[in-house]
Amino acid sequence: MLVLIDNANLKEIEALYNDYPYDGVTTNPSILMKEHKNPFKVLKDIRSFLPDDSMLHAQVVSETTEKMVEEAHFMLHEIRDDLFIKVPVTTDGLRAIHILKQEGVNVTATAIYTAMQAFMAAKAGARYTAPYVNRLDNMGADGVQVAKDIHDMFRVHNMEADVLAASFKNSQQILNLCKHGIGSVTAAPDVLRALTYHDATFTAEENFTHDFYSLLNEVEGTHLK
């Protein structure tokens, strides 16, 4: 399972990559707005920092098919030609996904709230589909189950598409998807850090260190006698 960072703050991304070799970064207009900087400059800086084999996903904001495709071309030219273009699964978005796929562009279908939206996006040519797990939970649905359903549908129909599950409240949601074989997830920094952090681990480390140096002091004290 690929694990990506859902964030646009370069310092935060650098800090996370210093701790662990993540698989890339996802952004959206709302995330970029939090940086209060030129969004294309932010995306360029992130892409420059990321290893060559890491992915970067960025979203179009236009509402018509023609403008979405035009915007995608601009982003690919300005940032890098292997950028994953995020396109919402509106009627115009699905048409844009199909056009971009025919051009060989990497596309991530986003703003997905039902399994069939993801299925139709994959048929149109999306490489990744991004269901909003926690947002679905907040709407009274089961976000984890929706992501699982999408994954199963892709495998049953032998589709060249994967789930890129997004919008997480906690690490347990990611664990449930990981156990099911979901292809990829993207999460905020606090959720990502929770994937590996456990108080008991640090307590054990402290105990091991304490015991080791206590033993050294004991051995050195014996030698001095």
Is 225 a residue whose pLDDT tops 60? no
| Percent of the residues in the chain that have a pLDDT greater than 90, as a whole number | 87
How many Cβ atoms are within 10 Å of 25's Cβ, its own excluded?
26
Q: Which residue, among 2, 86, 16, 74, has the nearest Cα to 50 in the 3D structure?
A: 16
Q: pLDDT digit string (tens) for 49-72?
A: 999 999 999 999 999 999 999 999
Residue 202: band (very low, low, confident or very high) from pLDDT cuts 50, 70, 90: low
What's the rounded mean pLDDT across residues 155-177? 97
Class for the domain spanning 2-194: alpha beta
What's the rounded mean pLDDT across residues 160-189? 97
- Using an 8 Å Cβ cutoff, are 191 and 170 in contact? yes
Question: 108-117 long-range contacts, Cβ below 8 Å, gap at least 24?
Answer: 108/26, 108/57, 108/84, 108/164, 110/28, 110/59, 110/86, 110/166, 112/150, 113/139, 113/141, 113/146, 114/146, 115/146, 115/149, 115/150, 115/153, 117/89
Contacts of 213 (CB under 8 A, 6+ apart): none
**Domain positions in the chain:** 2-194, 196-225
Which of the following is catalytic: 86, 148, 179, 225? 86
Return the residue matching tokens 């056009």: 99
Q: Indicate the Cα dihedral angle 33, 184, 87, 41, nearest 10°.
A: 40
86 an active-site residue?
A: yes
